[in-house]
Chain A
Amino acid sequence: MDIQTWTWVLVGITFTLYIGIAIWTRASSTGEFYVAGKGVHPIANGLATAADWMSAASFISMAGLISFSGYDGSVYLMGWTGGYVLLALLLAPYLRKFGKFTVPDFIGDRYYSNVARVVAVVCALIVSFTYVAGQMRGVGLVFSRFLEVDINTGVIIGMFIVLFYAVLGGMKGITYTQVAQYCVLIFAFMVPAIFISIQMTGNPVPQLGFGSSSDGVYLLDKLDGLHRELGFHEYTSGTKSKIDVFFITAALMVGTAGLPHVIVRFFTVKKVSDARKSAGWALLFIAILYTTAPAIAVFARTNMIETVSNKKYTELPDWFSNWETTGLISFDDKNNDGLVQYVADDSVNELTIDKDIMVLANPEIAHLPNWVIALVAAGGLAAALSTAAGLLLVISSSVSHDIIKKIVNPKISDKGELVAARLSAVVAVIIAGWFGINPPDFVAATVALAFGLAAASFFPAIVLGIFHKRMNKEGAIAGMVVGMFFMLYYMMRFKFDWFGGGTKADWWFGVSPEGFGTFAMLINFVVSLIIASFTPKPPKEVQEIVDNIRIPSGAGEAQMH
């Protein structure tokens, strides 16, 4: 069978599976819609969290990013895994004990203030919308390359699938589809990686393979050598300053721990010890992909350079022209010698490669069978859809629970709230789809912003809320607002050139906008602590809440209210 048929078959089977699960697990109360009735097994929750967390960016783009940046790419590897240690140790067990439905629930109750609640809702919405736009685009991209439909048609198909199972199933449906999606995506990621590792190094474990030798030379040494030859910096050493690498890694870690769609997954288990366990399982499942990605990066980079560098353009393999038609690879024969010059020097370099194709084209570059190539398409879709669904749930619960139930109309019935939740999910899908079809140019820039904002706003407010009994609403609100303000200012100045713009030389302490979240988080902590020490203590009931969430016993079932 050809690639196209295989892709239709595999995508068809997986989509049917997702829809089947959604029908089987549909939600019948707000408790089920928001937090799956708080009855999810920790391993199932670990699988779901892993799928929820690993987006189109992790699946499709990350290995490519690392492939092109070498050591500098480590910020993503450490940043997007290290955050789970913070989650497991500092947030998840306590938030589960607190036992409500959303992150703004915690902020609003712990800081006894609807102002704090609204600030938290606004942060949650900005973070989630920024993120979801990228996912819908990812769905469109995969469809257009592998099924040869228009990108927009792809986005719309994706919208309908997500709409169906997120609206019908709520958190309960999403959880079990995510379990299935994790299995699909990890299989799709590992199969080509193992094949290529065996091909290049004879070692079936990619994590070991990229430290082994091929033809008597260590693969990494060979790649370093190729890089030096072509004028690139050495693969295993970086170009970014140490302080910047430090700050970006920290911003991604803290941002991960502050992302509402990740935090809310820990509300779905039965008890506090299960929340800890599921964080461990989640990171284990994530680590399988995250330790394989740097191996793929090295394999793909070496393969790619050896296949194209100084080869005749007319004799390049088929995959090259396949990807040329998508515009993701382009060749411009500047010196008209018919050979491909791929070098670091821009004035001589003739080849431009989009980083996204490193994972998607990798199986073709390595001549793997058609079903493996089709599998990668199904895996990319699973990664994008699972993350999109998790984000849409955060958006809909922010609207129906945090705004409608908690602020606008506290008397609304459980049934009414469920209807509101489903309607807001529908609206959110439509907005997300619109962003997917008309992607704003700032999407790439705003993903950094999403992490920065989560780091600058939620993380300090939640950690202080648990570990510092004296923290009051004045301190927390001031900290969140000031942290967000600094983050937005820095991002707008250096990413969008507002407020006079500026170049690398103007960065504060040499920290890039991607790493500024760490800085804004520190400002948040300092402001919160100073303001809190001048303003009244929180009321006695609130101090009791804090005492209570520190003890794991009696976490209770999903609350009906």
Chain B
Amino acid sequence: MDKQHQKKYWKNNLKYLAILLSIWFLVSYVFGIILVDELNTIRIGGFKLGFWFAQQGSIYVFVVLIFVYIKLMNKLDDKYNLEK
């Protein structure tokens, strides 16, 4: 793999990281902590939404984030013919 491709691959990886980590920050720190009181005025069934994000929702999103990352990276590896 030449330098040019390597750079492009890495840039792409960093872009994925930036997007996924922003979502990671949003669901836990923003929804679960910073905006918890505002979200608690909204209810889903017996849950106040802010409380639900802090004790349930953020964890589900974390799991999904990692599997999305796995998918994206496997595709990227294929595109650059890595790890055969």
Chain A interface residues toward B at CB < 8 A: 66, 71, 73-74, 77-78, 81-82, 84-85, 88-90, 93, 207, 210-213, 218-221, 236-237, 242, 245-246, 249-250, 271-273, 276-277, 279-280, 283-284, 287, 290-291, 294, 547, 550-555
Contacts and interface: CB of A to CB of B under 8 A. Distances in A.
Given A211-B46, A249-B33, A82 B28 contact: yes
Contact of A74 (B1, B47, B54): B54
B44 A211 contact: yes
B17 A211 contact: no
A93 B10 CA distance: 13
21 contacts: A74-B33, A88-B69, A89-B17, A89-B20, A213-B46, A220-B48, A221-B46, A236-B40, A237-B51, A242-B33, A245-B33, A246-B33, A249-B28, A250-B29, A273-B74, A277-B70, A279-B66, A291-B60, A550-B10, A550-B13, A552-B82
B34 to A, nearest CB: 7
Contact of B67 (A78, A218, A280, A553): A280
B80 to A, nearest CB: 9
B52 A291 contact: no
A277 B74 CA distance: 10
Contacts of B56: 207, 291, 294
Contacts of B40: 236-237
Contact of A287 (B13, B44, B45, B59): B59
Contacts of B60: 287, 291
B59 A553 contact: no
B66 A283 contact: yes
A30 B79 CA distance: 36
A297 to B, nearest CB: 9
Contacts of A250: 29
B65 to A, nearest CB: 6
A552 B32 contact: no
B48 to A, nearest CB: 6
A217 to B, nearest CB: 9
Contacts of A552: 77, 82-83
Given A82-B24, A249-B29, A551-B82, A219 B70 contact: no
A66 B51 CA distance: 13
Given A85-B24, A212-B45, A550-B10, A287 B62 contact: yes
A73 B6 CA distance: 44
A555 B65 CA distance: 24
Chief secondary structure at chain B's binding surface: helix
Interface string B48-78: 1001101110111011011101100110010
Contact of B55 (A89, A245, A280, A294): A294
B83 A276 contact: no
Contact of A78 (B21, B52, B58): B58
A78 to B, nearest CB: 5
A74 B21 contact: no
A85 B45 contact: no
Contacts of A284: 63
A28 B1 CA distance: 36
A73 B56 CA distance: 12
A77 B54 CA distance: 8
B46 A551 contact: no
A220 B59 CA distance: 20
B9 to A, nearest CB: 7
Chief secondary structure at chain A's binding surface: helix
Contact of A553 (B1, B13, B24, B54): B1
A71 B51 CA distance: 7
* Nearest 4 CB-CB pairings of A with B: A218-B46, A74-B54, A211-B46, A280-B66
B22 to A, nearest CB: 12
B47 to A, nearest CB: 4
Nearest to A236: B51
A450 B6 CA distance: 37
Given A276-B70, A280-B67, A552-B82, A84 B62 contact: yes
A273 B20 contact: no
B84 interface: yes
A82 B62 contact: yes
A212 B55 contact: no
A220 B33 CA distance: 19
Contact of B52 (A81, A211, A276): A211
Contacts of B37: 237
Given A88-B69, A242-B34, A81 B29 contact: no
Contacts of A211: 44-47, 52
Contacts of A213: 46
Nearest to A76: B55
Given A71-B51, A553-B1, A283 B46 contact: no
Contacts of B58: 77-78, 81-82
Nearest to A201: B46
A43 B67 CA distance: 13
Nearest to A222: B46
B46 A81 contact: no
A39 B33 CA distance: 40
Contacts of B21: 85, 89
A209 B37 CA distance: 23
A263 to B, nearest CB: 16
Nearest to B24: A85
Given A78-B28, A89-B69, A550 B62 contact: no
A220 B46 contact: yes
Contacts of B69: 88-89, 276, 280
A228 to B, nearest CB: 15
A85 B52 contact: no
A236 B83 contact: no
A307 B74 CA distance: 53
Most A Cβ at <10 Å: residue of B13, B29, B52, B56: B56
Given A71-B54, A85-B21, A236 B48 contact: yes
